[in-house]
Amino acid sequence: MSIFVNSKNYYFVTPNNKNGLSSSLPTNLHKSDSLEFICELKVNPKKMKKLKYPGYIISLNGKHLGIYAGPDYVGSSIWTTTGEHKITLFPGDDIKSKISVHLKIDIKNKLMELTVKGKNSKSKKINFDGEIDEDYQFSYLWIGCGNGMDKNLSFPLIAKISKVKIIKNNKTIVKSDCKRQTPYKVFDQSNSGNHLIKYDKEWFE
């Protein structure tokens, strides 16, 4: 089972304990020693080709931190006080099939590694300098877009997502195989209570 994301359908994980359910909130992720975003998905290359910008798979909004995809590539980005640091991988024909994307950010040692696995595997690691931008302290964690609250910065993804996993300091704080869901949320299986909530502006009112 999977969730379909596009310009009108995407998800977020709340950074605050609105209903007192989360035991490990995804707040201040930029201040952790390490951070990992993992996703299994099938991108729609034909529809992504019609968009001006790539779509974010998993992202912290602001000066975007996360993983994104275009019609023929997968990338990652992080902003520090010295600017943006990026990795871009071209998986070839694998982009037309289900792929697994794994972003590892070793914040303490300033390393970023991106891996894309399909029939083949591609990976790249870079060092970055500077300190992580404090802009992320106000960020939401988004799945399927860059920022659902700002239409001009939404950077939607058109894809089917079947697995999502977020790891902070080697602890899984979000995990879902997207099998258990309602019209409004996808259930978290990490026992942290960090469900994927379908974005609706009324939630913020």
Taking a C-beta distance cutoff of 8 angstroms, is the pair 155, 53 a contact?
yes
User: Which residues fall within 8 angstroms of residue 81, CB to CB, at 6 or more apart?
Assistant: 130, 131, 133
- Supply the pLDDT for residue 129: 95
- Supply the pLDDT for residue 186: 95
- Supply the pLDDT for residue 152: 87
Residue 15 pLDDT greater than 90, yes or no:
no
Distance between CA 99 and CA 84 in Å, rounded?
25
Residue 124 pLDDT greater than 90, yes or no:
yes
Confidence grade of residue 45 (pLDDT, cut at 50, 70, 90):
very high
Least confident of 13-27, 116-130, 140-154: 13-27
Residue 150 pLDDT greater than 80, yes or no:
yes
Share the mean pLDDT of the chain: 91
Convert the pLDDT of each residue in 164-203 to its tens digit.
Answer: 999 999 999 999 999 999 999 999 999 888 999 999 877 6
- Determine the average pLDDT of the residues in 94-107: 96
- Supply the pLDDT for residue 153: 86
Confidence grade of residue 31 (pLDDT, cut at 50, 70, 90):
confident
Residue 114 pLDDT greater than 90, yes or no:
yes
Distance between CA 154 and CA 65 in Å, rounded?
13
Closest to 47 in 3D by CA, of 91, 86, 95: 95
Closest to 68 in 3D by CA, of 152, 158, 3, 130: 158
- Supply the pLDDT for residue 24: 62
Q: Using the Cα atoms of residue 146, residue 134, residue 196 and residue 12 in order, give the sign of their dihedral.
A: negative
Residue 205 pLDDT greater than 60, yes or no:
no
Q: Identity (one letter) of the amino acid at 31?
A: K
Give the residue, 117 or 138, on which the prediction is more confident.
117
Residue 104 pLDDT greater than 90, yes or no:
yes
- Supply the pLDDT for residue 92: 94
